[in-house]
Amino acid sequence: MNVVISSIVPGGAGIRVFELRACDAGPLPAYAAGAHIDVSLPNGLTRQYSLCCREPSGNTYRIAVKREPQSRGGSDWLHAQAQAGSVLQISHPRNAFALTANAGMHLLLAGGIGITPILSMAYELLRRGQPFRLLYFVRDDSSIAFAEELTASPLAPQVRIFSGLSPQQSAAAIASTLDADAQLAADVQVYTCGPGAFMNSVVELAQARFGVASVHKESFSLTPPGPSTAAFVLRLIRSERDIAVAADQTALACLQAAGIEIDCSCEVGVCGTCRTVVTDGIAQHHDAYLSPAEKLANNCFMPCVSRAATAVLSIDL
Ligand code: FES
């Protein structure tokens, strides 16, 4: 659907907050906290942004975009080119990061721009009247997004902001919060969004205390390079073609160069759009979309980032 940017306001250092409205000014689809939309930009790129409205229904969406130093064109365009009145195409909201229905305590941990889905969740938990705490880790005070909302009632009593901590100090703060909540509530659910290293730390500490099923994460960041970048061959079983993937190429780029149509969106292994069925060989997963169990099952992979651990990987294309 098409939307128009109705306002742009600064949201902290290097962050712009966009309000979007339907071009016909009608209502936008409702969604649950934690949802994101795909935003198709006029430069041909598609990027995912979490919705961070106070209310998950109404006539506007709100997204916040941090200008990434290594932007491949998404955040750059939204910072340098986008202006009020620009028209964007967006998808319906999708949610792979939903809140559980109930918990003794919902612990929300955000790092940097990862505050966006976490903010929606905090508002949702306020509406539900369910217990929660929000821990927000930022590089420095100027990097705090949504500072006014987070430090004013009604969210403020549940929010703690940690500014300028080292990774070790952050891990210690997270561990002590988790330990404190483990004493207070029987069922603690943990949600985290932020840079990869931050989320890894949260996930490791939280899973050790509350188990794998109680820890939920959302990631829109670049997947770190995998351990191997060996060349391999993609065997397309339906079209009976072999496509070579060199060490410095992605499987997706090679498929596209060979004229194979394949849906894709984020191109960094987080959205699941390019999911492709594997029929033989062993995939080497580098995405942040599939669960550990799905990766072990070895029946699909994400060609935008994932590769092959065998010389040949047969896929259902
Ligand atoms: S395009 Fe998003 S996971 Fe591949």
Domains defined for the chain, CATH in brackets: 2-90 (2.40.30.10), 105-218 (3.40.50.80), 232-315 (3.10.20.30)
Residue 46 confidence (pLDDT): 81
**Counting atoms of ligand 1 from 1, which one is nearest the CA of 272?**
3
The radius of gyration of the chain from alpha carbons, rounded to an integer in Å, stands at: 20
Q: Which residues of the chain have pLDDT under 70?
A: 69-72, 219-229
Ligand 1 centroid from CA 267, angstroms: 4
Residue 309 confidence (pLDDT): 87
Residue 272 confidence (pLDDT): 84
Ligand 1 centroid from CA 189, angstroms: 27
Residue 287 confidence (pLDDT): 86
Residues with CB under 6 A from ligand 1: 264-267, 269-274, 287, 289, 302, 304
Residue 293 confidence (pLDDT): 81
Ligand 1 centroid from CA 162, angstroms: 32
Ligand 1 centroid from CA 254, angstroms: 15
Model confidence pLDDT, tens digit, residues 33-72: 999 998 988 887 888 899 998 888 789 999 999 987 666 6
Residue 71 confidence (pLDDT): 62
Residue 227 confidence (pLDDT): 47
- Of the residues 221, 223, 267, 291, which should be mutated to test ligand 1's pocket, given the most ligand atoms within 8 Å of the CB? 267
Model confidence pLDDT, tens digit, residues 117-142: 999 999 999 999 999 999 999 999 99
- Of the residues 47, 94, 266, which should be mutated to test ligand 1's pocket, given the most ligand atoms within 8 Å of the CB? 266
Residue 128 confidence (pLDDT): 95
Residue 157 confidence (pLDDT): 96
Residue 225 confidence (pLDDT): 45
Residue 223 confidence (pLDDT): 44
**Counting atoms of ligand 1 from 1, which one is nearest the CA of 304?**
4
Ligand 1 centroid from CA 301, angstroms: 10
Ligand 1 centroid from CA 289, angstroms: 8
Residue 182 confidence (pLDDT): 82
Q: Whose CA is nearest to atom 3 of ligand 1?
A: 269
